[in-house]
A and B are shown apart, each in its own frame.
Chain A
Amino acid sequence: MSAASSVVAMKKVVQQLRFEANINRVKVSQAAAELQQFCIQNALQDPLLTGVSSSTNPFRTQKLCSFV
Protein backbone atom coordinates (compact mmCIF):
# COMPACT_ATOMS: atom_id res chain seq x y z
CA MET A 1 0.00 0.00 0.00
CA SER A 2 1.37 3.47 -0.87
CA ALA A 3 2.13 6.00 1.87
CA ALA A 4 -0.78 8.19 0.77
CA SER A 5 -3.33 5.38 0.87
CA SER A 6 -2.01 4.26 4.28
CA VAL A 7 -2.79 7.73 5.61
CA VAL A 8 -6.29 7.61 4.10
CA ALA A 9 -6.87 4.19 5.63
CA MET A 10 -5.57 5.31 9.02
CA LYS A 11 -7.83 8.39 8.92
CA LYS A 12 -10.80 6.06 8.45
CA VAL A 13 -9.69 3.97 11.42
CA VAL A 14 -9.45 7.10 13.59
CA GLN A 15 -12.84 8.34 12.36
CA GLN A 16 -14.43 4.98 13.18
CA LEU A 17 -12.84 4.89 16.65
CA ARG A 18 -14.09 8.41 17.34
CA PHE A 19 -17.61 7.32 16.37
CA GLU A 20 -17.44 4.24 18.59
CA ALA A 21 -16.04 6.23 21.51
CA ASN A 22 -18.99 8.65 21.43
CA ILE A 23 -21.88 6.20 21.81
CA ASN A 24 -24.10 6.30 24.89
CA ARG A 25 -23.50 3.50 27.34
CA VAL A 26 -25.98 2.08 29.82
CA LYS A 27 -24.79 1.02 33.27
CA VAL A 28 -23.89 -2.66 33.54
CA SER A 29 -26.14 -3.02 36.61
CA GLN A 30 -29.13 -1.98 34.53
CA ALA A 31 -28.17 -4.04 31.46
CA ALA A 32 -27.52 -7.14 33.57
CA ALA A 33 -30.76 -6.75 35.51
CA GLU A 34 -32.76 -6.45 32.30
CA LEU A 35 -31.05 -9.51 30.82
CA GLN A 36 -31.91 -11.51 33.93
CA GLN A 37 -35.48 -10.16 33.91
CA PHE A 38 -35.95 -11.21 30.29
CA CYS A 39 -34.78 -14.75 31.02
CA ILE A 40 -37.02 -15.11 34.05
CA GLN A 41 -40.06 -13.60 32.35
CA ASN A 42 -39.76 -15.97 29.40
CA ALA A 43 -38.64 -19.09 31.26
CA LEU A 44 -42.05 -20.75 31.34
CA GLN A 45 -42.43 -20.32 27.58
CA ASP A 46 -39.03 -21.87 26.86
CA PRO A 47 -39.65 -25.51 25.87
CA LEU A 48 -35.99 -26.55 26.09
CA LEU A 49 -35.94 -25.26 29.67
CA THR A 50 -39.30 -26.55 30.87
CA GLY A 51 -39.30 -29.76 28.90
CA VAL A 52 -41.89 -30.81 26.35
CA SER A 53 -44.55 -33.39 27.20
CA SER A 54 -44.73 -36.21 24.69
CA SER A 55 -48.33 -35.33 23.84
CA THR A 56 -47.36 -31.84 22.67
CA ASN A 57 -43.96 -32.73 21.20
CA PRO A 58 -44.17 -32.52 17.40
CA PHE A 59 -40.95 -34.53 17.17
CA ARG A 60 -42.28 -37.47 19.12
CA THR A 61 -44.34 -39.69 16.89
CA GLN A 62 -46.96 -41.54 18.91
CA LYS A 63 -46.43 -45.17 18.05
CA LEU A 64 -49.45 -47.29 18.57
CA CYS A 65 -48.87 -50.98 19.00
CA SER A 66 -51.52 -53.30 17.77
CA PHE A 67 -51.73 -56.99 17.15
CA VAL A 68 -51.99 -57.70 13.47
Chain B
Amino acid sequence: MGEMEQLRKEAESLKDEITAARKAVQDATLQDTVSGTVVVSRVQLKTRKTLRGHLAKIYAMHWSTDSKLCVSASQDGKLIVWDSYTTNKVNAIPLKSSWVMTCSYAPSGNMVACGGLDNMCSIYNLKAKDGNVKVMRELAAHTGYLSCCRFLSDAEIITSSGDCTCVLWDIETGTQKTVFAGHTGDCMSLAVPLDFKTFISGACDFTAKLWDIREGQCRQTFSGHESDINAIAFFPNGNAVITGSDDATCKLYDLRADQELITYQDSSIMCGVTSIAPSLSGRLILAGYDDFNCNIWDSLKAERVGVLAGHDNRVSCIGVTADGMACCTGSWDSFLKIWN
Protein backbone atom coordinates (compact mmCIF):
# COMPACT_ATOMS: atom_id res chain seq x y z
CA MET B 1 0.00 0.00 0.00
CA GLY B 2 1.41 3.42 -0.91
CA GLU B 3 2.13 5.91 1.87
CA MET B 4 -0.66 8.23 0.72
CA GLU B 5 -3.21 5.41 0.75
CA GLN B 6 -2.03 4.38 4.22
CA LEU B 7 -2.37 7.93 5.52
CA ARG B 8 -5.86 8.22 4.04
CA LYS B 9 -6.90 5.03 5.81
CA GLU B 10 -5.44 6.32 9.07
CA ALA B 11 -7.36 9.59 8.69
CA GLU B 12 -10.65 7.75 8.10
CA SER B 13 -10.04 5.52 11.10
CA LEU B 14 -9.31 8.53 13.31
CA LYS B 15 -12.50 10.23 12.13
CA ASP B 16 -14.42 7.09 13.12
CA GLU B 17 -12.65 7.16 16.48
CA ILE B 18 -13.78 10.74 17.08
CA THR B 19 -17.36 9.89 16.11
CA ALA B 20 -17.32 6.93 18.51
CA ALA B 21 -15.79 8.96 21.35
CA ARG B 22 -18.50 11.61 20.95
CA LYS B 23 -21.20 8.96 20.98
CA ALA B 24 -19.69 7.38 24.07
CA VAL B 25 -20.43 10.52 26.15
CA GLN B 26 -23.88 11.00 24.67
CA ASP B 27 -25.71 9.73 27.74
CA ALA B 28 -28.48 12.31 27.27
CA THR B 29 -29.68 15.06 24.96
CA LEU B 30 -30.17 18.76 25.71
CA GLN B 31 -33.82 18.22 24.85
CA ASP B 32 -34.18 15.58 27.61
CA THR B 33 -32.31 17.70 30.13
CA VAL B 34 -34.58 20.71 29.65
CA SER B 35 -37.86 18.78 29.34
CA GLY B 36 -39.00 20.21 32.67
CA THR B 37 -38.21 23.79 31.69
CA VAL B 38 -40.93 25.98 30.24
CA VAL B 39 -40.36 27.82 26.96
CA VAL B 40 -39.61 31.50 27.38
CA SER B 41 -42.73 33.63 26.82
CA ARG B 42 -42.98 35.63 23.62
CA VAL B 43 -40.19 38.20 23.36
CA GLN B 44 -41.29 41.47 21.84
CA LEU B 45 -38.46 43.90 21.36
CA LYS B 46 -39.07 47.36 19.98
CA THR B 47 -36.85 49.56 17.87
CA ARG B 48 -35.65 52.26 20.25
CA LYS B 49 -33.23 54.01 17.91
CA THR B 50 -32.53 54.01 14.19
CA LEU B 51 -29.01 55.02 13.21
CA ARG B 52 -29.21 56.80 9.86
CA GLY B 53 -26.27 58.03 7.87
CA HIS B 54 -24.76 55.29 5.77
CA LEU B 55 -25.45 55.59 2.04
CA ALA B 56 -25.07 51.95 1.08
CA LYS B 57 -25.30 48.41 2.45
CA ILE B 58 -24.05 47.90 5.99
CA TYR B 59 -21.89 44.81 6.22
CA ALA B 60 -20.75 44.80 9.83
CA MET B 61 -21.16 46.35 13.24
CA HIS B 62 -19.48 45.87 16.60
CA TRP B 63 -20.30 47.28 20.05
CA SER B 64 -17.73 48.97 22.20
CA THR B 65 -17.28 47.38 25.63
CA ASP B 66 -18.95 50.50 27.12
CA SER B 67 -22.30 49.31 25.68
CA LYS B 68 -22.98 52.82 24.35
CA LEU B 69 -20.69 53.41 21.39
CA CYS B 70 -20.62 51.14 18.37
CA VAL B 71 -18.89 51.07 15.00
CA SER B 72 -20.47 50.12 11.67
CA ALA B 73 -18.96 49.51 8.24
CA SER B 74 -20.69 50.16 4.95
CA GLN B 75 -19.81 49.78 1.31
CA ASP B 76 -20.35 53.52 1.02
CA GLY B 77 -16.69 53.48 2.09
CA LYS B 78 -17.19 54.70 5.64
CA LEU B 79 -16.75 53.49 9.19
CA ILE B 80 -19.08 55.35 11.51
CA VAL B 81 -18.70 55.39 15.28
CA TRP B 82 -22.12 56.07 16.82
CA ASP B 83 -23.29 57.14 20.25
CA SER B 84 -26.27 54.79 20.29
CA TYR B 85 -27.95 56.64 23.20
CA THR B 86 -28.22 59.90 21.22
CA THR B 87 -27.81 58.53 17.65
CA ASN B 88 -25.02 61.10 17.16
CA LYS B 89 -22.10 60.22 14.93
CA VAL B 90 -18.94 60.44 16.98
CA ASN B 91 -16.63 59.73 14.03
CA ALA B 92 -17.19 59.25 10.29
CA ILE B 93 -14.01 57.65 8.96
CA PRO B 94 -13.49 57.58 5.18
CA LEU B 95 -11.88 54.34 4.01
CA LYS B 96 -9.29 53.83 1.26
CA SER B 97 -11.20 50.81 0.03
CA SER B 98 -15.00 50.89 0.07
CA TRP B 99 -15.27 47.09 -0.20
CA VAL B 100 -15.38 46.62 3.53
CA MET B 101 -16.75 43.39 5.03
CA THR B 102 -15.93 43.62 8.71
CA CYS B 103 -15.21 46.04 11.54
CA SER B 104 -14.18 45.74 15.18
CA TYR B 105 -13.99 47.97 18.25
CA ALA B 106 -10.97 47.47 20.53
CA PRO B 107 -11.92 46.57 24.13
CA SER B 108 -10.09 49.70 25.31
CA GLY B 109 -12.17 51.93 23.04
CA ASN B 110 -8.97 53.43 21.61
CA MET B 111 -9.07 51.85 18.17
CA VAL B 112 -11.29 50.41 15.49
CA ALA B 113 -10.34 48.10 12.66
CA CYS B 114 -11.85 47.10 9.34
CA GLY B 115 -11.09 45.19 6.18
CA GLY B 116 -12.61 43.49 3.18
CA LEU B 117 -11.82 42.86 -0.47
CA ASP B 118 -8.55 44.76 -0.11
CA ASN B 119 -7.29 41.66 1.79
CA MET B 120 -5.99 43.98 4.53
CA CYS B 121 -6.94 44.83 8.08
CA SER B 122 -6.66 48.59 8.67
CA ILE B 123 -6.32 49.83 12.23
CA TYR B 124 -7.52 53.35 13.09
CA ASN B 125 -6.51 55.28 16.21
CA LEU B 126 -9.58 57.06 17.60
CA LYS B 127 -7.65 58.90 20.29
CA ALA B 128 -4.90 60.65 18.30
CA LYS B 129 -3.69 63.84 20.02
CA ASP B 130 -4.65 66.11 17.12
CA GLY B 131 -8.18 64.74 17.11
CA ASN B 132 -7.97 63.39 13.56
CA VAL B 133 -8.76 59.74 13.07
CA LYS B 134 -6.28 58.18 10.71
CA VAL B 135 -4.88 54.80 9.71
CA MET B 136 -2.41 53.59 12.29
CA ARG B 137 -1.45 50.28 10.65
CA GLU B 138 -2.32 48.33 7.57
CA LEU B 139 -1.97 44.61 8.24
CA ALA B 140 -1.30 43.00 4.89
CA ALA B 141 -0.42 39.36 4.24
CA HIS B 142 -3.71 37.59 3.63
CA THR B 143 -4.15 36.37 0.07
CA GLY B 144 -7.91 36.52 0.29
CA TYR B 145 -10.62 38.91 1.52
CA LEU B 146 -10.83 39.87 5.17
CA SER B 147 -14.11 38.44 6.47
CA CYS B 148 -13.79 39.23 10.17
CA CYS B 149 -11.45 40.79 12.72
CA ARG B 150 -11.46 40.98 16.52
CA PHE B 151 -9.05 42.83 18.85
CA LEU B 152 -7.52 40.91 21.74
CA SER B 153 -6.05 44.17 23.07
CA ASP B 154 -4.55 47.38 21.65
CA ALA B 155 -1.51 45.30 20.73
CA GLU B 156 -3.03 42.24 19.07
CA ILE B 157 -5.81 41.47 16.64
CA ILE B 158 -7.09 38.24 15.05
CA THR B 159 -8.35 38.20 11.48
CA SER B 160 -10.17 35.57 9.39
CA SER B 161 -9.86 35.45 5.62
CA GLY B 162 -11.15 34.06 2.35
CA ASP B 163 -7.67 32.53 2.01
CA CYS B 164 -8.85 29.85 4.51
CA THR B 165 -6.61 31.02 7.35
CA CYS B 166 -6.93 33.10 10.50
CA VAL B 167 -4.01 35.20 11.68
CA LEU B 168 -2.89 36.70 14.99
CA TRP B 169 -1.15 40.03 14.34
CA ASP B 170 1.19 42.22 16.35
CA ILE B 171 -0.33 45.64 15.68
CA GLU B 172 2.74 47.63 16.72
CA THR B 173 5.06 45.93 14.22
CA GLY B 174 2.35 45.11 11.70
CA THR B 175 3.56 41.51 11.47
CA GLN B 176 1.90 38.09 11.64
CA LYS B 177 2.57 36.36 14.97
CA THR B 178 0.68 33.15 14.23
CA VAL B 179 -1.10 31.70 11.22
CA PHE B 180 -3.97 29.35 12.04
CA ALA B 181 -4.30 26.98 9.09
CA GLY B 182 -6.62 24.02 8.84
CA HIS B 183 -9.90 25.13 7.32
CA THR B 184 -10.41 23.92 3.75
CA GLY B 185 -12.81 26.70 2.84
CA ASP B 186 -13.02 30.50 3.21
CA CYS B 187 -13.05 31.54 6.88
CA MET B 188 -16.16 33.68 7.29
CA SER B 189 -16.35 34.63 10.92
CA LEU B 190 -14.51 34.46 14.22
CA ALA B 191 -15.25 35.09 17.91
CA VAL B 192 -13.09 35.55 20.98
CA PRO B 193 -14.18 34.54 24.52
CA LEU B 194 -13.75 36.62 27.67
CA ASP B 195 -10.49 34.94 28.68
CA PHE B 196 -8.83 35.67 25.30
CA LYS B 197 -7.03 32.29 25.39
CA THR B 198 -8.85 30.68 22.50
CA PHE B 199 -10.97 31.72 19.55
CA ILE B 200 -13.45 30.03 17.25
CA SER B 201 -13.80 30.30 13.50
CA GLY B 202 -16.60 29.34 11.10
CA ALA B 203 -15.86 28.57 7.46
CA CYS B 204 -17.15 27.61 4.02
CA ASP B 205 -15.94 24.06 4.65
CA PHE B 206 -19.09 23.78 6.84
CA THR B 207 -17.03 23.40 10.03
CA ALA B 208 -16.27 25.48 13.10
CA LYS B 209 -12.85 25.20 14.73
CA LEU B 210 -11.66 26.05 18.25
CA TRP B 211 -8.07 27.35 18.29
CA ASP B 212 -5.56 27.72 21.13
CA ILE B 213 -4.08 31.19 20.56
CA ARG B 214 -0.69 30.71 22.24
CA GLU B 215 -0.11 27.15 20.94
CA GLY B 216 -1.29 28.18 17.46
CA GLN B 217 -3.16 24.91 17.22
CA CYS B 218 -6.66 23.77 16.39
CA ARG B 219 -8.06 21.92 19.42
CA GLN B 220 -11.47 20.86 18.17
CA THR B 221 -13.45 20.74 14.91
CA PHE B 222 -17.25 20.76 14.79
CA SER B 223 -19.22 19.51 11.78
CA GLY B 224 -22.89 19.05 11.06
CA HIS B 225 -23.81 22.08 9.04
CA GLU B 226 -24.72 21.38 5.43
CA SER B 227 -23.44 24.65 4.05
CA ASP B 228 -21.17 27.63 4.76
CA ILE B 229 -21.01 28.86 8.35
CA ASN B 230 -21.43 32.64 8.10
CA ALA B 231 -21.65 33.58 11.74
CA ILE B 232 -20.22 32.32 15.00
CA ALA B 233 -20.33 33.41 18.64
CA PHE B 234 -19.46 32.11 22.08
CA PHE B 235 -22.24 31.20 24.46
CA PRO B 236 -21.82 33.54 27.47
CA ASN B 237 -20.53 30.78 29.79
CA GLY B 238 -17.58 30.29 27.43
CA ASN B 239 -18.24 26.54 27.19
CA ALA B 240 -20.36 26.46 24.07
CA VAL B 241 -20.40 27.92 20.60
CA ILE B 242 -23.35 29.00 18.44
CA THR B 243 -23.15 29.06 14.65
CA GLY B 244 -25.34 30.36 11.83
CA SER B 245 -25.21 28.86 8.35
CA ASP B 246 -26.40 29.13 4.76
CA ASP B 247 -28.22 25.84 5.45
CA ALA B 248 -30.87 27.98 7.23
CA THR B 249 -30.06 26.59 10.67
CA CYS B 250 -28.17 27.66 13.76
CA LYS B 251 -26.45 25.10 15.94
CA LEU B 252 -25.12 24.98 19.48
CA TYR B 253 -21.94 22.97 20.04
CA ASP B 254 -20.70 22.23 23.55
CA LEU B 255 -16.90 22.54 23.81
CA ARG B 256 -16.45 20.15 26.73
CA ALA B 257 -18.70 17.40 25.33
CA ASP B 258 -17.11 18.09 21.93
CA GLN B 259 -20.39 17.85 20.01
CA GLU B 260 -23.53 19.48 18.74
CA LEU B 261 -26.23 19.69 21.41
CA ILE B 262 -29.06 21.20 19.41
CA THR B 263 -30.13 22.73 16.08
CA TYR B 264 -32.33 25.81 15.75
CA GLN B 265 -34.46 25.30 12.67
CA ASP B 266 -37.95 25.62 11.35
CA SER B 267 -39.41 24.24 8.13
CA SER B 268 -40.69 27.71 7.29
CA ILE B 269 -37.17 29.15 7.35
CA MET B 270 -35.41 28.49 4.08
CA CYS B 271 -32.87 31.27 3.85
CA GLY B 272 -29.34 31.60 5.17
CA VAL B 273 -28.31 32.91 8.57
CA THR B 274 -26.01 35.91 8.28
CA SER B 275 -25.34 36.86 11.87
CA ILE B 276 -25.78 35.57 15.40
CA ALA B 277 -25.55 36.83 18.99
CA PRO B 278 -26.60 35.48 22.38
CA SER B 279 -28.37 37.53 25.05
CA LEU B 280 -26.54 38.08 28.34
CA SER B 281 -27.74 34.87 30.00
CA GLY B 282 -27.56 32.89 26.77
CA ARG B 283 -31.22 31.99 27.06
CA LEU B 284 -32.03 33.96 23.91
CA ILE B 285 -30.20 33.60 20.63
CA LEU B 286 -30.74 36.37 18.13
CA ALA B 287 -30.01 35.46 14.52
CA GLY B 288 -30.18 37.61 11.40
CA TYR B 289 -31.39 36.05 8.17
CA ASP B 290 -31.34 36.74 4.43
CA ASP B 291 -35.14 37.24 4.46
CA PHE B 292 -34.76 40.67 6.14
CA ASN B 293 -35.76 39.39 9.59
CA CYS B 294 -34.05 38.47 12.78
CA ASN B 295 -35.41 35.47 14.69
CA ILE B 296 -35.16 35.15 18.45
CA TRP B 297 -34.72 31.57 19.69
CA ASP B 298 -35.12 30.06 23.16
CA SER B 299 -31.63 28.49 23.25
CA LEU B 300 -32.64 25.64 25.59
CA LYS B 301 -36.02 24.68 24.07
CA ALA B 302 -35.00 25.44 20.44
CA GLU B 303 -38.27 27.25 19.77
CA ARG B 304 -38.70 30.58 18.05
CA VAL B 305 -39.95 33.07 20.61
CA GLY B 306 -39.76 36.35 18.74
CA VAL B 307 -38.99 38.19 15.55
CA LEU B 308 -37.31 41.54 14.91
CA ALA B 309 -38.98 42.84 11.79
CA GLY B 310 -38.19 46.29 10.59
CA HIS B 311 -35.49 46.18 7.98
CA ASP B 312 -36.19 46.49 4.27
CA ASN B 313 -33.31 44.30 3.23
CA ARG B 314 -31.02 41.53 4.48
CA VAL B 315 -29.92 41.75 8.13
CA SER B 316 -26.15 41.48 7.72
CA CYS B 317 -24.94 41.92 11.27
CA ILE B 318 -26.14 41.77 14.84
CA GLY B 319 -24.61 42.47 18.23
CA VAL B 320 -25.74 42.48 21.84
CA THR B 321 -24.18 45.00 24.25
CA ALA B 322 -21.81 43.72 26.96
CA ASP B 323 -24.32 44.81 29.61
CA GLY B 324 -27.07 42.94 27.74
CA MET B 325 -29.31 46.02 27.58
CA ALA B 326 -29.88 46.09 23.83
CA CYS B 327 -29.19 44.45 20.54
CA CYS B 328 -28.23 46.23 17.34
CA THR B 329 -29.06 45.00 13.84
CA GLY B 330 -27.36 46.32 10.71
CA SER B 331 -28.82 45.86 7.28
CA TRP B 332 -28.29 46.15 3.55
CA ASP B 333 -31.05 48.80 3.76
CA SER B 334 -28.28 51.10 5.14
CA PHE B 335 -29.77 51.46 8.63
CA LEU B 336 -28.84 50.19 12.06
CA LYS B 337 -31.58 49.62 14.59
CA ILE B 338 -31.25 49.37 18.35
CA TRP B 339 -33.80 47.08 20.02
CA ASN B 340 -34.82 46.18 23.56
Q: When the two chains form their complex, are residues B324 and A16 in contact, meaning their CB atoms are under 8 A apart? A: no
Q: When the two chains form their complex, are residues B30 and A35 in contact, meaning their CB atoms are under 8 A apart? A: yes
Chain A residue at smallest Cβ distance from B280: A46
Q: Which of A13, A41, A58 contacts B325 (CB 8 A)?
A: A58
B residues in contact with A3, CB < 8 Å: 4
A residues in contact with B258, CB < 8 Å: 23, 25
A residues in contact with B49, CB < 8 Å: 59
Q: When the two chains form their complex, are residues B281 and A43 in contact, meaning their CB atoms are under 8 A apart? A: yes
B residues in contact with A47, CB < 8 Å: 280, 323-326, 340
Task: Give the distance to chain A from B286, nearest Cβ to Cβ, in Å.
Answer: 8
Count chain B CB atoms within 10 A of each CB in A16, A33, A36, A59 and give the residue with the most: A59
Q: When the two chains form their complex, are residues B21 and A21 in contact, meaning their CB atoms are under 8 A apart? A: yes
Q: When the two chains form their complex, are residues B48 and A57 in contact, meaning their CB atoms are under 8 A apart? A: yes
Q: How many contacts A-B (CB < 8 Å)?
A: 168
Q: Which of A43, A45, A48, A58 contacts B327 (CB 8 A)?
A: A48
**B93 contacts partner chain A, Cβ-Cβ < 8 Å:** no
B residues in contact with A41, CB < 8 Å: 281
Count chain A CB atoms within 10 A of each CB in B14, B26, B29, B281 and give the residue with the most: B281
B residues in contact with A6, CB < 8 Å: 4
Q: Give the distance in Å from the alpha carbon of A10 to the alpha carbon of B84 in the complex.
A: 50
**B182 contacts partner chain A, Cβ-Cβ < 8 Å:** yes
**How many chain B residues have a CB neighbour from A under 8 Å?**
64
Q: When the two chains form their complex, are residues B33 and A38 in contact, meaning their CB atoms are under 8 A apart? A: no
Q: Give the distance in Å from the alpha carbon of A68 to the alpha carbon of B281 in the complex.
A: 46
**B338 contacts partner chain A, Cβ-Cβ < 8 Å:** yes
**B7 contacts partner chain A, Cβ-Cβ < 8 Å:** yes
Task: Give the distance to chain A from B284, nearest Cβ to Cβ, in Å.
Answer: 6
**Known pairs A7-B3, A45-B324; A36 contacts B300 (CB<8 A):** yes
Known contacts A32-B261, A59-B48; 14 additional CB pairs below 8 A are A16-B218, A20-B218, A21-B21, A25-B24, A25-B25, A25-B256, A26-B25, A28-B261, A31-B239, A32-B28, A43-B283, A47-B326, A57-B48, A60-B48
Selected A-B contacts with CB under 8 Å, 22 pairs: A3-B4, A14-B10, A14-B11, A16-B218, A17-B15, A18-B14, A19-B217, A21-B17, A23-B219, A23-B220, A25-B25, A26-B256, A26-B257, A27-B27, A35-B235, A35-B237, A38-B236, A39-B300, A43-B283, A57-B48, A59-B325, A60-B48
Interface residues of A (CB under 8 A from B): 3, 6-7, 10-11, 13-14, 16-21, 23, 25-36, 38-43, 45-49, 52, 57-60
Interface residues of B (CB under 8 A from A): 3-4, 7-8, 10-11, 14-15, 17-18, 21-22, 24-30, 32-34, 37, 40, 43, 45, 48-49, 68, 84-85, 182, 217-221, 235-237, 239-240, 254, 256-259, 261, 279-284, 299-300, 320, 323-327, 338, 340
Interchain residue pairs A-B with the least CB separation, the first 8: A42-B281, A59-B48, A46-B281, A29-B28, A17-B14, A32-B33, A26-B256, A31-B257
